[in-house]
Amino acid sequence: MKTRIILLTFFLTACFAYSQPKKWTLKACIDYAIKHNINVQQSELDTKDAKIDKSDAIGNFLPALNVGASHSWNIGLNQNITTGLLENQTTQFTSFQGTVRVDVFKGLQNVNTLRRANLSILANRYKLEDMKDDISLSVANGYLQILFSRENLEVAKAQYAVTEQDLKKTRELVESGVVPKGDLLEIEATAANQEQQIVNAENELRLSRIALAQLLLIDDYENFDVADEDFMLPESGILDHSPKNIYRKALTFRNDIKFSKTNVELAEKDLDIAKGALLPTLSAFYGYDTRISYQDRAVGTGDFELVPIGVVPSTQEEVVTPRELTEISGPQPFFDQWTTNDGHSYGLQLNIPILNGFSAKNNVKRSEVNLERTKNQLEQDKLDLDNAIHQAWNDTRAAYKSYEAAGKALEARKEAHNYARERYNVGLMSSFDFAQAQARVDNAEAEFVRTKYDYIFKLKVLEFYFGIPLDEL
């Protein structure tokens, strides 16, 4: 019996655990977003294209080898190679060709093209990583927004719980005739307002969860939620570093800066390739061909006959010459003709560009302009990074001061509220004034939560510029 109870308990526990929605950590959210983001997938395809371009660049160093064959039929009036007479006949021929060409010197264009292909792969990699960094920041912001909304909801519920106690005590005071009924109505209005705040906070939490789920491309909004963490304000000494120090370090690892630097190197290689088109090119070639005929042929028999070719004028003596007798035979064997009729050709070809409609020179000029453009873009990216870091540093410091001020204000409001409750309980304060004191505490707590998460996000952005990852808060 005990065994059955244990198994049943285990089964129910497992089913309950399985039915619970998954609680997402920040690292899980970032990893999922990067894996499923469409722009990231597009950038990965660009990297594959760059690798194919590198394969093309390597292929430029290999010889160009081409082979071909043809078979032809000639139908109609043709010369019989046996009799020498024109006859209506059909003849067939087969030919084979093979050529090899290799670049000996091409203005270093092949070398520079390969180097450019390697740089292109590197540039696409930096672009992909920079895209992942932006996604990580967006996910962290959405994640913190959920934590903020959740804590804001908890504060609203806690405030309402306190007001319920005040409402209960006020009812008792009204029933005992200590305070007028108007005080009860004032507290009830405060409770109703807090109930509305709870509804608004729940709605904000739901919207923040939907926003992060959409960023992750998750359709199941209702079951999506982040992990329940005992979140504490992180300690960081990032503000001890000056913006200039953070900027100098950011230059060493920021993928957007690496991408811009690589673009400058790519433009330099494009210029080298364009200049290479102005230089002479030298290539070597080799060709082989052979021909096969399927016509009958005249073959010598080994016997000879004397054929008159003229007479001696003085003696009228006939002059003869021996001629081998022939007979009609079939075509020569295929492979015998292959070796008998083959031929070879080889040599070097020099090409010196002189005038090509200014296209080569204009390509050089375009490449020079593009190089200057990429250098300017690099300087602009550095300037943007410097401005962003200074802005983030100032924002973080201001957010921390606002957080400290909000904390002090909240403590003061709580003390004032406690004092107001004591006065209200003994009838020295009206319900309206006590409700105002409660509202000031509510506003102070809401502001404290807002400044807390505002400081956390700005702090994480500044740490991100310093090279601290966003995997954990």
* Contact between residue 77 and residue 90 where contact means Cβ atoms under 8 Å apart: no
Per-residue pLDDT tens digits for 354-389: 888 888 899 999 999 999 999 999 999 999 999 999
pLDDT at 110 over 80: yes
Tokens of 372: 């200057």
User: Among 142-151, 179-188, 300-309, where is mean pLDDT lowest?
Assistant: 300-309
Distance of CA 448 to the CA centre of its chain: 39
Nearest to 267 by CA among 121, 366, 122, 131: 366
pLDDT of residue 85: 66
Residue with tokens 């967006």: 138
Per-residue pLDDT tens digits for 154-165: 888 988 888 888
Please give the Cα distance from 62 to 113 (Å, whole number).
14
Q: How many CB atoms lie within 10 A of CB 166?
A: 19
Q: What is the mean pLDDT of the chain?
A: 85
CA atoms within 13 A on the CB side of 157: 8
Q: How many CB atoms lie within 10 A of CB 296?
A: 13
DSSP readout, 2-33? Answer: HHHHHHHHHHHHHHHHHHSPPEEPHHHHHHHH
pLDDT of residue 18: 41
Any residues with CB less than 8 A from the CB of 116 and at least 6 apart, and which?
57, 266, 269, 270, 273
Nearest to 455 by CA among 410, 409, 408, 395: 395
pLDDT at 9 over 70: no
User: Mean pLDDT across the stretch 422-441?
Assistant: 81
Amino acid letter, residue 12: L
Confidence of residue 471 (pLDDT cuts 50, 70, 90): low
Tokens of 91: 């003849």
Confidence of residue 20 (pLDDT cuts 50, 70, 90): low
pLDDT at 457 over 80: yes
What Rg value do the Cα atoms of the chain yield, rounded? 45
Tokens of 78: 């043709």
Tokens of 254: 């920021």
When comparing pLDDT for 330 and 314, which is higher?
314
Distance of CA 356 to the CA centre of its chain: 39
Q: How many helices (H) and strands (E) does the chain have?
A: 10, 8
When comparing pLDDT for 200 and 322, which is higher?
200
Q: 220-231 in b/e burial notation, b at 16+ Cβ within 10 A?
A: eeeebbbeeeeb
Please give the Cα distance from 318 to 324 (Å, whole number).
19
DSSP state of 93: E
Q: What's the N-to-C CA distance of the chain in angstroms?
A: 48
Please give the Cα distance from 357 to 293 (Å, whole number).
47
pLDDT at 7 over 70: no
User: Mean pLDDT across the stretch 462-469?
Assistant: 90
Please give the Cα distance from 463 to 250 (Å, whole number).
10
User: Mean pLDDT across the stretch 174-189?
Assistant: 80
Residue with tokens 């009228």: 316
pLDDT at 313 over 70: yes
Amino acid letter, residue 431: S
* Contact between residue 339 and residue 325 where contact means Cβ atoms under 8 Å apart: no
Please give the Cα distance from 406 to 451 (Å, whole number).
7
pLDDT of residue 11: 45
Any residues with CB less than 8 A from the CB of 307 and at least 6 apart, and which?
320, 321, 322, 323
Per-residue pLDDT tens digits for 165-179: 878 887 887 787 777
pLDDT of residue 16: 40
DSSP state of 353: -
When comparing pLDDT for 296 and 3, which is higher?
296
* Contact between residue 142 and residue 215 where contact means Cβ atoms under 8 Å apart: yes
Please give the Cα distance from 413 to 407 (Å, whole number).
10
pLDDT at 231 over 60: yes
* Contact between residue 60 and residue 261 where contact means Cβ atoms under 8 Å apart: no
